[in-house]
Every structure is written in structure tokens, then in C-alpha cells.
Structure 1
Amino acid sequence: MTRTAASRRLLMVMPYSQFVRKAAEAGFEVWAIWDPSLREREYLDEVAAHARELLLTDFGDEAGLRALIAETVRAHDIGTVLHLGAEESMPPAVAEAEALGVSPNPAAAVTALNDKAAMRELLAAHGLSPVRSQVAATAEEVAAAVARLPLPVVVKPARASGSRGIALVRDIDDLEEWTGRVTEGALAGPYLIEEFLEGPEFSVETLSADGEHHVIGITAKQTTGAPFFIETAHVHPAPLGPEERAALHAVVIGLLDLAGYRFGPAHTEIVLTAHGPRVVESQTRLGGDRIPLLIETASDYDIEAAIFRTLAGEPVEPPAPRHTASVGFFFLPAGRLRSVEGVDAIRALPYVQALHFPFQPGDELPPTTNSFTRHGYVVVDAESPAEARARIARVRGLLRADVREAALAAPEGVLR
């Protein structure tokens, strides 16, 4: 395919700094749009270092964001607009890109995947991954729906991420706890109420090109379980047999086909139940929790760079894992950090690929109620899942934190 000048001009909304660098390395001229309230100036400078121009706006002003996208596309003859960041600002960005004829995906496809209620409705309409569910507009409607349904059920905001606002409701006390939490967190509806899916959890990373979906890898997940279902560790590649792997591939590719997704990464979460794989949710972005680093550690495959190579016209070649990689998260008591030891010893371990512990003595550690309030992580490589578990355990043992615990106990379900 002949590449025109416009096809090499890329506008990215909310691009992480490495995305801009890797897009430039793939031969693109990049314009970037960010909300300055979401990142510190130093980080925005990193974004700007590899961009032709960094443009700043308020993502909460949807009309302003759309206007800036349109102005930039027309002023610079932009060939493609991509949004690979957080889902909250995707709808106006993709809608405007589609209206301008520079979106690689229909806006409807992005909505069908990112909105949990829309995704569930799409799957139900085609009999794929059947899950009993209802949608409620308000917390009051959730209470009425829960009263009609056999318990337990899972309740969650349809448009939130990072385990925010999710709960297993087994009785009225669970419902009251959830109602207070979503109210305090300003997590608005609609809300999805669905049957509780039992079984091991996985995430499936895909990369699509021209409507063809390629499975890049499957990651096994460990969570706290009820009530918050916060991820505690992941291992990649997931230890699965050929039949289980094929079943996960089929349901994820089926979902992407039904949604009409054409290009880019998708992160789909699955529970492998006794009745087969069931989709929990999907997003039109890369997986969080350092999953791209797990893939690269296990397979020497940079999925972030592959997005831009694919956009430039190169074929997608899924990797073959050669090692095991795992991420383990830190869960400490909530309270004031008096002292911490072991960070340097952890960094010195030859199998540690990344360590993130962003706290200093004197800092206040928040209670862990979702993925955003965990207390850091470590990424290790290994030759097997068992060795990876042992190495994560060793790292956690080396991190010795003296915390003056908060007066209120940490919420139920938080690991100590």
C-alpha cells in the first residue's frame, strides 16, 4: 500500500509518553492532545519531546475536545486519530474522528466494547457468552432489581474501570455498602447487575487490523475476591491447555467481530466457568497492570510498538512465549508510613524487571478499594508459574513497611 503524507500524520488523544515515542519510531508525525489536570508538567514534557505539537484541553469539555480535534486534523492534514488512553474521554474523540473520516474504528464499535451494559446487550442478542443481567439507571433501581434476582449478583457501573464500584451483593448489608461506596466515589449509572460467574479469571490481549483479530496473549489473574475483586497478581502466559486456550480465543474474537471492531488493541476479561468462557468486560485499549511489560518479558514482543507498525501497514505476527512473567501488587495497611526497608534489595534481584513503590516516610497510604489505590507492584521473570509465585512472595517479604494504621479498619476484602 502506498503511504501518503497524510497517512503518516497521526493525532493521538491522551497518548502515554511511550506511545508517542514508538509512533515516531514507526515513522509517524505525531500531534498529541492531553488534559493538563491529569498529568504533571514533567510527564507532559516527555510527551512533547517526540510530538510535533502538544495541545492541551479539558477532557471534561466534550465540545471543546471535539473542536480541537477537528481544528488540528484540518490544519495539519491528519490521516488518523487514535485514542488509546482511558475510556472516559474516548466517546467524543472517536465520534469526531469518525465524522472527519479519520477514525480506524466506527464509534459504535468502541461504545459496544467499552460500555459494559452495551457489550452485555450485544452478546445476549447473538447468544454468545450468555450471562443473566439487568441494567439500572440509578442506585435505587439497582436495589429494586437486586430484590427480584437470585443472589449473589455482581453490581458495577457500566462505564467505570479499575475495579471501581464493583461488588458482590449477597445480602442487604452488601448492597448498602456498595450504595455508599458508589455515592461517595461519584460513580454514576447506568449500573449493570449480573449473575456471579465462578471460575478462574483471565485477560486476553488482541491486536486487530482490517477487521482481523490476532490474539497476542492470555494472562491469568488473581484477585482479592469479594467484595471488591481487586487484582493482586497476574501471570503470563496463562497456564492453559489447548482446548481452554482455543475456547477463550473463540469467544473474544466473536465479541470483536460482533462489535465491528476494525483496528487496534483490545483488552478482554474472561471467567472460565464450568459452562465455558464468559466475557466479563472489554476495552478498546491495552490492558493495564503492566500486562504489556509481561508480554514483552515473556515473549520479547512489544505490543505497544506493534500497534504503530500495524498502522503503518506491517502484518501482525503474534508472539510465542519463551518465559513466564508475573506482576504482584503490594497491599499495605492504610495509615501513615513511618519507614520502609527493602526497596534497594528488591531492585538488586536479577529477576526483577520493574519495581514501583511511590511512597516515602511521612506519606499517607490509602485504603485499597480499587486498582488505583494499591500500593505499588513488582514485575519478575521466571521459568514457570510456580517459580514466578515464589519470586513474588520473596519480594513481598523483603518489603518491610512500618505503618501507623488509620483509626478506621481497612475495608473487608483488602489483603494485609
Structure 2
Amino acid sequence: MTFQQLVTVPRHEHKETPMPHPNTPPATRKRLLVIEPMSSGLTLLGAARDLGLETVVFSHDAADRVVPEGARGEIDLFVAVNTNDPAALAEAAAEVHARTPLSGVVSGSEFYVDAAARLAHLLGLAGQPIETAEAVRDKTLMRAMLAKAGIRIPRYAEVLTAADLDDAAETVGFPCVLKPAAGSGSIQVSRVEDSGQLKSAYRTLADHADFVFDQPEDGRALVEQYLVGPEYSVEGYVHQGRVTIVSVTRKLLGAEPYFVELGHVVRADLAPDVRSAVEDYTSAVVTCLGIALGPFHAELRLTNEGPVLIEVGARLAGDRIAELITLATGVSLRHVMVASHVGLDPESAWPRALPAAEYAGVHFFTAPGLTTLNRIEGLDALERHPSVAEVRMYLGPGDSIPAARDLRCRLGHVIFTADSADQEAELRAWAAATARFA
């Protein structure tokens, strides 16, 4: 059945569209609800199908909350509903669950982790504790919980209005980082050197109209210590109270004052004692916040004092990191996430595969200085290379290129595998030079 584009409908009028497949499992199979699948969340749909589940998707299906056409063939039931309206979400979930019970609820993006937890609680399904879901979405709550437990965090101060900036700067000192309390993708995150830059950055944060998923910032922000040291992310999962670290990922960032992520490498080569410290610290963070099941994605910097948390999400990592982990370790965190939330054993439901290589990397294409993408060259050479696993463009000729302030400036990416750290670096440099934009 070809998917029919649905019009957005208000609360109490959400519209459901069944989307049968030739091999649709019978209704007695487990059913997974995914709220707004996007980015890495789209891969949850295929993972659910792999595990023999039916898939239900809730999406606003308008503006920047639209499920891509190519993913719609993996959906059994599509419900158009305002996913930013908690009451509408609860009503739609209750109706779907009453007809054919759901087995689990997951968020398909960072922005709906707390919504998924609330729906799971409402329906009596496994999920994150609501307090945990709120803390991983709100960096102020996250910092406060960790500080109370004595876990090392950056110095920080919460800002509610511009009147709080001077006191915050006095508490934290310069240079510092300003960020939204509940943002994502490094949007509106910047390093500032003095009071003038801090106030200017806050005006931009509080006044900007380019909101993600129609979720306007309320002006709440954090001013926090600028951490000196290389940046990493740590990916793993929780099952029956046990924290398993799967990967430590090296992150490649663009020029400050912004923090655009230009690439990732799995695995990060760390000395055994350093890796042990990173894993122990991350496990303490995950345990303190009460992440109860499924994958987590923690970002931190290695400072002179040891690892210090930037933030942690109770979700699948984005930026194709989950794919890199599968290539370099054989662990599929997307299958782990789906299995965990529907009551399956994540370690046996989808066993670990043989790694494709020792290392896997993603390089994001950018075009500094260009405001419009007119021409793309070199992608065919990338696609022919035996070490390249994926080439994808987000923008095409004629598209405007956003300023290099966050992830939206990226044009596309290439994923590749390597047998050594040196080969990974060589392939990254080659990929960057081969893809040309004008």
C-alpha cells in the first residue's frame, strides 16, 4: 500500500492510517510505538521489523516533524497527532492500546524521551522513570541530580532571564559556555569570552525564531564552565540494573566558538587506565540518573581532573554513531533499544555480529564560505571505494547552506571502515578532499 500523505489534525481528531505489509505479523505479536522517528530513530522501525514486531508511529506529519517517505513502508499503523500536546498524545495512545495492546513505547528523537516515558507509565509498560526522563531532557535537573550525588560536573548556573547573566558569569567565570537548558544538536550553544559576548549570545538564544520541532525555547539556559580537553561520547545500555559500556567514541569538532560535530570515530584509542576511568565515571552517571533500560549516549571531555560530563541521553546516539558501533563491534544498539522496551532480552534477541573492521568513522561534509550549494562532485569516487559503507547527502543543488553554528550546516556524510587508526585518518582526509562543493 502506498502511504497517503495525511493532513494534520487537532486534538480529539487524530487520524489513523493502517499500513499493511505483505508479511505483517499477526496482532498477537508485540507492538512498538515510536514517537516522531527521525535521524537514528528511523532505524528503530527496521529493527522492530527484524524482531517480528508490529510498528505504530505517532507523528505530527507537518513542518519539520514528518516521517520520510522511504521509511513509511516499515510502519503498520500511522497516527497523525500533535506530538507536542501531551493530552493529545495520551488520548491517542490510550485509544490505540485499548484496541490492540502496545508492548512498548520509545522516542524516535531526543525531544520526545520524556513523552515516551509518560506514555509508558500511563499504559503500564516498561520505560524510563519519569524523573529520569525529565532529567536527561533538562540539563539543569541533570546537573543538580549529579551534584547532589557528588559526581564531578562542570561549574554551572541556571539563567532564566537576562538579569541573571552577571551573577551566572561570576559563579562560572570566563571563558564559559552558554546553552539552552533542553536543547540538542549544539543548536544555540557557544563559547563566550566576556560579559558582552555572553549577553549577545543570550539575546540570540532567547529571541531566535528558528525553533526545532515547534518547541520554542523559554529562555532557560545554562552558563557553565568551559571544559579543556578532548571530547568523547560513551555508548552502552542498561539491562536488569547492569550498565554495559559498548563503545567510547572519539568526536571531531569544528572551530569554536561553536561546537559543530564534523566526525566521529569508533573506537577511541585510550590508555587502559583512562578508558577504565571513563567507563567507571559514565556508569556512575547513568546509575545516578536512574536510567533503567535500553541505550544511553553520554558526552564528556577528558580534563586534567578526569572525565567530566557534558550531557547524557537515554536514547540511541545520533550522527550515525550507532551504525559505526555495529561496524566496529558487531553490537546493534537499535535492536537493543527495541528489545529492551518490549520486554525481550536485548542480549539474546539480536546476537552480536562479527565486526566489519577494527575502526569505523563518519565524516560530515561542510562547505565553509558557501551560502548556496550549486554543484556536487566526487561522490561517485567515494561510493566506489571498498572501505566506504555509506554516502548520503542532506542538501542538493540550489539549497541554501546554513551558517556553521550547529549540525544544520552539514551537507551530508560518508561512513567508512579501517583496520588501523592511521588508515582511518588517511581515509577521512581522502574523503574530505574527494567530495567537492561549489
Unmatched runs of 5 consecutive residues or more in structure 1 = 403-416
* 1:43 alignment counterpart: 68
- Give the distance between the partners of 2:32 and 2:375, measured in 1 at CA: 46
Q: Once the 2 structures are TM-superposed, how far is the Cα of residue 239 of structure 1 from its aligned partner? A: 0.7
- Give the distance between the partners of 1:395 and 1:227, measured in 2 at CA: 25
* 1:406 alignment counterpart: none
* 1:369 alignment counterpart: 405
Secondary structure, aligned partner of 2:374: strand
Q: Once the 2 structures are TM-superposed, how far is the Cα of residue 108 of structure 1 from its aligned partner? A: 1.0
1:212 corresponds to 2:242: yes
* 1:413 alignment counterpart: none
Secondary structure, aligned partner of 2:433: helix
Corresponding letter in the other structure for 2:366: F
* 2:418 alignment counterpart: 382
* 2:295 alignment counterpart: 265
Secondary structure, aligned partner of 2:298: strand
Q: Once the 2 structures are TM-superposed, how far is the Cα of residue 191 of structure 1 from its aligned partner? A: 1.0
Deviations 1:4-32 (A, max 9, x none): x8782322222344312211221323222
Quickly say closer, same or farther: Cα 1:9–1:358, change in 2 above 3 A: closer
TM (norm. structure 2) is 0.84
The 8 Å contact of residues 60 and 66 in structure 2, kept in 1 or not, is answered as no
Deviations 1:379-407 (A, max 9, x none): 111112222121111111112222xxxxx
Quickly say closer, same or farther: Cα 1:77–1:138, change in 2 above 3 A: same
The 8 Å contact of residues 106 and 113 in structure 2, kept in 1 or not, is answered as no
Deviates more, 1:220-229 or 1:144-153: 144-153
Q: Once the 2 structures are TM-superposed, how far is the Cα of residue 349 of structure 1 from its aligned partner? A: 1.5
* 1:289 alignment counterpart: 319
1:327 corresponds to 2:349: no
User: Which residues in structure 2 correspond to 1:96-175 (within 5 Å)?
Assistant: 96-147=119-170, 149-175=172-198
Corresponding letter in the other structure for 1:364: S
- Give the distance between the partners of 2:44 and 2:67, measured in 1 at CA: 16
Q: Once the 2 structures are TM-superposed, how far is the Cα of residue 40 of structure 1 from its aligned partner? A: 8.3
Q: Once the 2 structures are TM-superposed, how far is the Cα of residue 360 of structure 1 from its aligned partner? A: 3.1
2:334 is aligned, of 298, 304, 316, to 304
* 1:82 alignment counterpart: 106
1:360 corresponds to 2:396: yes
Deviations 1:70-101 (A, max 9, x none): 22222212232222x22323323321321321
The 8 Å contact of residues 265 and 284 in structure 1, kept in 2 or not, is answered as yes
* 2:9 alignment counterpart: none
Q: Once the 2 structures are TM-superposed, how far is the Cα of residue 314 of structure 1 from its aligned partner? A: 4.4
Deviates more, 1:192-201 or 1:359-368: 359-368
- Give the distance between the partners of 1:279 and 1:377, measured in 2 at CA: 27
Secondary structure, aligned partner of 1:365: coil
Q: Once the 2 structures are TM-superposed, how far is the Cα of residue 339 of structure 1 from its aligned partner? A: 2.2
Quickly say closer, same or farther: Cα 1:336–1:46, change in 2 above 3 A: closer
* 1:411 alignment counterpart: none
Deviates more, 1:228-237 or 1:95-104: 95-104
Deviations 1:272-301 (A, max 9, x none): 111111111011111111101111221233
Q: Once the 2 structures are TM-superposed, how far is the Cα of residue 320 of structure 1 from its aligned partner? A: 8.6
Corresponding letter in the other structure for 1:58: N
Secondary structure, aligned partner of 1:338: coil
TM (norm. structure 1) is 0.88
1:250 corresponds to 2:280: yes
Q: Once the 2 structures are TM-superposed, how far is the Cα of residue 132 of structure 1 from its aligned partner? A: 1.5
Unmatched runs of 5 consecutive residues or more in structure 2 = 1-26, 211-215
The 8 Å contact of residues 58 and 79 in structure 2, kept in 1 or not, is answered as yes
Quickly say closer, same or farther: Cα 1:236–1:319, change in 2 above 3 A: farther
The 8 Å contact of residues 94 and 123 in structure 2, kept in 1 or not, is answered as yes
Quickly say closer, same or farther: Cα 1:289–1:18, change in 2 above 3 A: closer
The 8 Å contact of residues 353 and 381 in structure 1, kept in 2 or not, is answered as yes
Quickly say closer, same or farther: Cα 1:346–1:143, change in 2 above 3 A: farther
4+ runs deviating over 4 angstroms: 38-42, 316-322
Compute the RMSD of aligned alpha carbons.
2.3
- Give the distance between the partners of 1:17 and 1:222, measured in 2 at CA: 24
- Give the distance between the partners of 2:139 and 2:202, measured in 1 at CA: 19
1:395 corresponds to 2:431: yes
The 8 Å contact of residues 335 and 346 in structure 2, kept in 1 or not, is answered as no
Quickly say closer, same or farther: Cα 1:6–1:141, change in 2 above 3 A: farther
- Give the distance between the partners of 2:252 and 2:66, measured in 1 at CA: 35
1:315 corresponds to 2:381: no
Equivalenced residue count is: 396
Amino-acid identity (%): 28
* 2:94 alignment counterpart: 70
- Give the distance between the partners of 2:241 and 2:373, measured in 1 at CA: 49
* 2:77 alignment counterpart: 53
Corresponding letter in the other structure for 2:30: R
Quickly say closer, same or farther: Cα 1:136–1:399, change in 2 above 3 A: same
The 8 Å contact of residues 118 and 130 in structure 2, kept in 1 or not, is answered as yes
1:21 is aligned, of 46, 62, 69, to 46
Deviates more, 1:310-319 or 1:369-378: 310-319
Quickly say closer, same or farther: Cα 1:390–1:121, change in 2 above 3 A: same
